[in-house]
Amino acid sequence: MREPPFGLTPDTAFTFSASSHQEALNVLLVASTSGEGFIKITGDVGMGKTLLCRRFLSTLGDDYVAAYIPNPMLDFRGLLLALAEELGTPVDREADRHALIKAVNHALLGFARKGRKVIVILDEAQAMPIETLEALRLLSNLETEKRKLVQVVLFGQPELDQTLAEAPIRQLNQRITFHYQLGGLSRDETEQYVSHRLKVAGYAGDRLFAPGSIAALYKHAGGVPRLVNVIAHKALLAAYGEGAPQVSRKHVVRAAQDTPAAVHRVRSFRPALALAAAAVFGVAVWLFVV
């Protein structure tokens, strides 16, 4: 293999179009053409929201300007400063909120005159303070006679829905015109996902994961892509440590037992997965052999 097949970094080179992700991307593409309201994408931890966000960003053409804010735990002034930076607008960092809003509005009007749409994308939006969310709604009021000057996409965990249901920001909740909740991989998609990542990583040999191992992987990962990656990676180490030519159900179960987030899915808990340092070194060499 040229590289580890089950890394946790949201690398678009490993993109797998599961049905849920493709539907969510379609919602984003349709909604972005409308230019109205807020868009909300929610999903549990490990469902691939950040990867979906990157896929969406890669589809936007030159007629779009994207402002991506990955950590929105900011007050309104901090959000304005981050937005100005993303839009390439020079501002005085000591300026008050009124001056910052004016500068951002000026930049948005400039893009509108050039026929370009501005989309603000906020990842991990469930971490945003309520006051900042409400201020974001006020910022979205900026518009010309024809259309809004900015469209907002919120990516967040399910807790975002609870926050948006609170009374102080109910007006923002009413402005969400498009929304989608990401689901996990199905049993068949889990098998396709594993095969896809192995192929992208450069593997071209015989079937590496036995049928029983895929069933166990789906059971213990629950279709969560991040858990699939973690357990599959450890299962590969377990198989190599034993000198086995194929990953079996036993290897996957042992890997799941060594993964805290998946332990509750295992009925009988056995000693945690333990691999000798020599085996770890050996599998590292094996994985990176071209």
Of the candidates 154, 166, 119, 181, the one whose C-alpha atom is nearest the C-alpha of residue 40 is 154
For residue 257, how many C-alpha atoms fall within 13 Å in the half-sphere facing its CB? Answer: 15
Of the candidates 79, 262, 211, 212, the one whose C-alpha atom is nearest the C-alpha of residue 154 is 79
SS3 122: strand
CA dihedral 62, 66, 70, 73 (to 10 degrees): 170
Report the pLDDT averaged over residues 140-152: 75
- For residue 33, pLDDT over 60 is answered with yes
**Percentage of the chain exceeding pLDDT 90:** 48
- For residue 285, pLDDT over 70 is answered with no
Q: Whole-angstrom Cα distance, residue 126 to residue 121?
A: 13
Q: Whole-angstrom Cα distance, residue 152 to residue 42?
A: 14
Instruction: Please give the residue that has the higher pLDDT: either 29 or 172.
Output: 29
Strands (E), 93-174: 117-122, 151-156
Walk me through the domains of the chain, giving residue ranges and CATH numbers.
Answer: 19-181 (3.40.50.300), 186-288 (1.10.8)
- Mean of all residue pLDDT scores within the chain: 85
Query: How high is the pLDDT of residue 137?
Result: 80
Least confident of 61-75, 102-116, 144-158, 238-252: 144-158
Tell which phi-psi region holds residue 157, choosing left (phi > 0), alpha (psi between -120 and 50) or beta. beta
Report the pLDDT averaged over residues 249-273: 71
pLDDT tens digits for range 62-105: 999 999 998 778 888 888 899 999 999 888 888 888 888 889 88
- For residue 276, pLDDT over 50 is answered with no
Lookup result for tokens 């049993």: 187
pLDDT tens digits for range 206-241: 899 998 999 999 999 999 999 999 999 999 999 999
- For residue 154, pLDDT over 80 is answered with yes
- For residue 279, pLDDT over 50 is answered with no
* Residue 181: strand pairing partners: 42
pTM of the predicted model, to two decimals?
0.83
Kindly indicate the confidence band of residue 144, based on its pLDDT and cuts at 50, 70 and 90: low
Tell which phi-psi region holds residue 226, choosing left (phi > 0), alpha (psi between -120 and 50) or beta. alpha
